[in-house]
Amino acid sequence: MSALICGSFAYDTIMVFHDRFRNHILPDQVHILNVSFLVPDLRREFGGCAGNIAYNLKLLGGDGLAMGTVGTDFQPYAEWMDRQGMSREHIRIIDGQYTAQAYITTDQDDNQITAFHPGAMNSSHENRVSDADGITLGLVSPDGRQGMIEHAQQFAEAGIPFIFDPGQGMPMFDGEDLMRFAEQATWLAFNDYEARLMQERTGKSLDELATLVEAIIVTRGGEGSRIHHDGRITEIPAAPAASLEDPTGCGDAYRAGLLHGLQNDMDWDTTGRIASLMGAIKIEQAGTQNHHFTLDEFRARFRDTFNYDFG
């Protein structure tokens, strides 16, 4: 079962300010704001939802193809993907554009100021689901607005079951848009904030939305996650992490776990726990694609964490 993962690729430039923003941003002077932060710590990471999910699914031994649009500056990322054995077959380079870029400055209180340039991501609709052969499972993750709309429609028209995962792309859609996604999708995935926003914009409760799909998955950070399916809720505990280094990309790691469970016809109790453990492993490392493990190591940790073996 091959999964097509539609979404973004991005470079994440992360800077650390060794002070607090509040010491330099004066509330009564924001109308003439002009500040500069010295950031002695800087790293550049490979990111974007499609790239992150495909990376994590590869670690689990899953069969996944990432589909996205990137700029002419993509070569370093491409070389990284090649080293990881990740397919670039459905990545389209857009001439005259940069790959999406996030510039994130974090202070000592873990506050963040982020600037995001979508770049080539806005051309994601130039890719079509039908460009990929042998796809039996799909995922629509944050991407260009038109691309998300068209890819969801293409999955639905092709009869390919897919997860709709709007993530940080949710503000681009109104209630009518979100209802259409819910009617097209097979599964919906949100964090708890996005789930509340989904309910507010559609005017539908999670129970009502759950009648449209096979399952709704809601992650809740350290409180674990909930999977609404078959008229009931399955509670998934948060897997313990050895350290809390960086939460960025945990949601993408979780979604790779969902895909792995779906690809292998696992029940929701096990699928959710695989996803939960993926998030815990990710949070132990800075960056979104810097964690590593073998499948045997993952199985052993799963057994130690949940006291049983999976599939």
What does each C-alpha distance from 189 to 180, 194, 255, 267 come to in angstroms? 15, 9, 8, 16
Residue 197 forms part of a structural domain: yes
Residue 16 located in a structural domain: no
Buried/exposed 154-184: b ≥16 CB within 10 Å, e otherwise:
bbbeeebebbbbbbebbeebeeebbbbbbeb
Give me the pLDDT at residue 1, please.
65
Q: Is residue 112 part of a domain?
A: no
pLDDT value of position 261: 97
The answer to whether residue 75 sits within a structural domain is yes
Q: Which residues of the chain have pLDDT under 50?
A: none
Domain coverage including residue 54: 2-8+48-96+121-301
246: tokens are: 């960086």
Report if residue 136 sits inside a domain: yes
- Is the residue at 18 inside a domain? no
Total-model pTM: 0.95
In a domain, 157, yes or no: yes
3-class SS string, 196-265: HHHHHHHCCCHHHHHCCCCEEEEECHHHCEEEEECCEEEEECCCCCCCCCCCCCHHHHHHHHHHHHHHCC
Tokens for 102, please give them. Answer: 């996030």
Indicate the number of domains in the chain. Answer: 1
Asked if the structure places residue 84 within a domain, the reply is yes
Q: What is the pLDDT of residues 141-157, one digit of tens each?
A: 999 999 999 999 999 99
How far, in Å, CA of 254 to CA of 258, rounded? 7
Can you say how many angstroms the Cα of residue 256 is from the centroid of all Cα atoms in its chain? 8
In CATH, what number is assigned to the domain containing residue 272? 3.40.1190.20
Distance CA 109, CA 104 (A): 14
